[in-house]
Structure 1
């Protein structure tokens, strides 16, 4: 690790000495990436950094307004018209007539149909997309006007209005030059998935589609977006250039989602936080996010730094929580779980570990969503005396050896294990604070640090008691059925805490189906009450992203939507 830090520092010194101090003459907006994107394939991209770049190269039918979170048309002229008939829903779209691929061909419904087929095709690394878009059953392209098409879905839920247009539209001419998928309908691919996976045709198509050149070759990584890939040096930088005569410039007036201002976007890959902070202060990068707390606080206090850098800390939908296994013999009583919840001093945790850059919450809804957040429901306070009362009420008896009770004809002891991801300092510190608070009332908690894959395996097997994790929630959908419904409380299901009963299942089902914001808000508040009562989760806080941007950059738009800033709207100030 020290060799890597030395190499990064040496490389940074090279940047500083070779580029000088005239940062305003640099035509590129320079963004720090903490990790190499690894792949720019729009189907099997590697990480969040890949997705950030892909959103500049490729486009979906719809996008989201970063300020008010409303759905907006991107590749299409308008939001879809929706018709619900019995068990099916129909979403009708029309591609903007100006939309073109880089070869000059128009973007049409045939490209959309191809893209949906790819999401469902066998022999590809697309399991997550097959599950996410399983509700899309078919697509019909208008034979007279290929710009118009209808997506047919199973059932209807409000979040479909966004999800049905939230996938990358791929150029068929580039990804399937032999037109292999043209002769297969989407329902046929879905229904014959297993048998098609064994055919030579789909094996050949899969090999062609997963060709590495489609993930990083500058001649192949081309979508309908405003930017093109110019160069990529692994572990060092990725350069995007704004296209000349991009089709979006022909739309009059240009809608906000199609505005793309910077001529160049240079993503500098600097894994080491200290090296990246040094580059920011030296004027060698313009934007850095997820800044460590101490570095962020120091820069905000430094007078010279404040003259060159502007600071932002937008809310995010990243929710940090403690999960408890309600199926564990020692935690199946909700009074015991509630006792554990009283061992967290959340305001103090936010102050000391997050420097105040986090928002306390009583549930899965962000407190800024006033219509849905239960502001009258008070957080569970830190109270060790109350924790002791609850343990006694749950049947536990305090002995010199610890808390015990009889269950199933035998004596069990209240001793817990907490697991969390290795290397997460926040989890480590919160674990120690919980361990200390529990020890003060005689409850031993051991702490295990594991890799993410190991934690997932243990959660899926039910082999755990307590765990820390971060859940990325969504302001666009409150369909919590996969996470909280009792039908998901089985091995491999997402309801690993075994939360719920018939009453909460009915609440979840109604929340997922209702189109009325008022009704959904009322139902969500009831759910928040039930979740606090059951205490399978201790919701700690929503994170805030600590961002610093050079003052040579203007028109900054920050948002709670990842990546929490809009690169396409930035302007480099003129000297």
Structure 2
């Protein structure tokens, strides 16, 4: 299972929250306009940086990956690829042979080629681009070999052997080289120079020129630049108000037969409405059609209201887990006993009632308890016990005095800082309850609601102590290295906790490498036990999706994957049988 956070959708990504969801249509239905409410702006539609989950939702409608996730079968299926990759191995490398679907084209009518995949890999590995989230997912790819006789065929050369290589290899949106590198400045620089960087790679004129152009923020808001192989195109984007997509008149995937190619709405409007009361009023007035991730209390109240018969309510279990992230290298939090103590200051049962209206699922780790084959159910749920937290702090060497807690040799009392996204109601509730519990034992806690982009930068630079976030996952594979492996610590890695443990590294590497499910399950349980003691993350609960859809629409296809429904599948209720 790869998890990703709200700022970087991946794994981690991961990942996500199907980053390359590959929606489409067959045949295209005349659903008309579908209006979806979002609480915040997507910030950017760059398919490499993926600033938040709302950006991911839009990007999945504009771009496609080699593979897609079929939620019904919980498996990967070909998307831009003609078929699943053919895998061969030698002593230390894995080779994945792909061929692109001959029908796949860009908006200019030109075919999607292997050279586009090579360009895409360079963008995902290029220095100077905030691509660490996506790069972490596909870091095993070392090179690409293009077929001299077939411009649609290529082979990915991958480091080592892992059961997840094949499915992870399709986990990125393929980009059009003709639009993003029209003069071919990167063509002379091979992919292997990016995956195993040559000295001073970032100073090469070609790399500098590409980096400057790619990082231009306006590019990722421009309808003329945001043109992928997906079924929709960007019509307009009014920052903080509305983002509008329209279905392409001529799209290559419209003749594909698999359900992942559904693209029924002719137009999708994402309305940014930060205020929940305003969004619910617009939903009731019929000004909005879909409200995904509505709060637990609001979901329950709407279900019990007099006009509930006008809506369809979906609440599938999700793979998104709310956690408290700890900076394990911060002097205050280096001791695992201190991190464990933080877990005893969070009343998770109260949170589940308050935040999810009792629909959340408590957990001891970042693997969903519903995945019984992998979840370590022998570990006890961490109790809400402020007195126990105080005992653990004392065992860690902290000293309690009249003015608060002190680290050994420190004259000033300790104050902890909890950062979270400004305006995030769930995180605000958790932070306030945590602060109140800490006060009971004389521990000062400062709350730091922070703008999303700034918080991402602070976490990337290790400039935080505790942070509240949500990890997004899926049930297809369990590669936790980007989140927790020591190789991913640092500015260019995705291990924000800066957790480093040799035994954990060995387990994560072995879990990915083994093809034996029994061995994988055993090692996953061992890893969960180790992480439970070390507590780089304090997992709180898995939050279910909550989606409300106006009854004029149907075929939402509720799923445990982000964002809990399939917007491309929505169609007028009469077309869906009037259910």
TM-score class, shorter: 0.7 to 0.9
Equivalent in the alignment of 1:543: 543
Q: Which runs of 5+ in 1 are unaligned?
A: 1-24
SS of the aligned residue for 1:431 comes to helix
Distance 1:198 1:516, change over 3 A: same
Equivalent in the alignment of 2:309: 307
SS of the aligned residue for 2:352 comes to helix
- Separation of aligned partners in 2, 1:350 and 1:60: 36
Equivalent in the alignment of 2:285: 282
CA contact 2:65–2:79 (8 Å) conserved in 1: yes
Query: Which aligned pairs between 1:83-232 and structure 2 lie closer than 5 A?
Result: 83-121=88-126, 126=131, 128-130=133-135, 132-188=137-193, 197-198=202-203, 200-205=205-210, 215-232=220-237
Residue 266 of structure 1, aligned match among 256, 264, 269: 269
- Range with greater deviation from structure 2 (443-452 or 346-355): 443-452
Query: Which aligned pairs between 1:324-363 and structure 2 lie closer than 5 A?
Result: 324=326, 334-335=336-337, 337-363=339-365
Query: Which aligned pairs between 1:472-491 and structure 2 lie closer than 5 A?
Result: 472-485=472-485
CA contact 1:314–1:545 (8 Å) conserved in 2: yes
Distance 1:388 1:268, change over 3 A: closer
Q: What whole-Å deviation, never above 9, does each CA across 1:357-405 have from its counterpart, x for those lacking one?
A: 3221010101111111112322122345555665666677877676779
- Range with greater deviation from structure 2 (214-223 or 369-378): 214-223
- Separation of aligned partners in 2, 1:191 and 1:338: 38
- Separation of aligned partners in 2, 1:163 and 1:492: 20
CA contact 1:241–1:263 (8 Å) conserved in 2: yes
How many aligned residue pairs are there?
544
Q: In the TM superposition, what is the alpha-carbon distance from 1:258 to its structure 2 partner?
A: 1.8
SS of the aligned residue for 1:288 comes to strand
Q: What whole-Å deviation, never above 9, does each CA across 1:73-117 have from its counterpart, x for those lacking one?
A: 101122111112222211111112222233333222232223223
Distance 1:392 1:550, change over 3 A: same
Distance 1:342 1:229, change over 3 A: closer
RMSD (Å), alpha carbons: 3.6
Residue 237 of structure 1, aligned match among 229, 234, 242: 242
Structure (1 or 2) with the greater helix fraction = 1
SS of the aligned residue for 2:280 comes to helix
Distance 1:386 1:242, change over 3 A: closer
SS of the aligned residue for 1:545 comes to coil
Larger Rg: 1
Equivalent in the alignment of 1:320: 322
SS of the aligned residue for 1:379 comes to coil
Q: In the TM superposition, what is the alpha-carbon distance from 1:298 to its structure 2 partner?
A: 2.2
Q: In the TM superposition, what is the alpha-carbon distance from 1:224 to its structure 2 partner?
A: 1.8
Query: Which aligned pairs between 1:391-540 and structure 2 lie closer than 5 A?
Result: 410=409, 415-421=414-420, 422-440=422-440, 442-451=441-450, 466-485=466-485, 501-540=501-540
CA contact 1:420–1:469 (8 Å) conserved in 2: no
CA contact 1:414–1:443 (8 Å) conserved in 2: no
- Range with greater deviation from structure 2 (505-514 or 488-497): 488-497
CA contact 2:293–2:547 (8 Å) conserved in 1: yes
- Separation of aligned partners in 1, 2:494 and 2:58: 29
Distance 1:403 1:70, change over 3 A: same
Distance 1:219 1:492, change over 3 A: closer
Q: Indicate the structure whose relative CO is greater, using CA pairs within 8 Å and at least 6 residues apart.
A: 2
Q: In the TM superposition, what is the alpha-carbon distance from 1:64 to its structure 2 partner?
A: 0.9
Equivalent in the alignment of 1:250: 255
SS of the aligned residue for 1:541 comes to strand
Equivalent in the alignment of 2:381: 379
Q: In the TM superposition, what is the alpha-carbon distance from 1:235 to its structure 2 partner?
A: 4.3
- Separation of aligned partners in 2, 1:170 and 1:474: 24
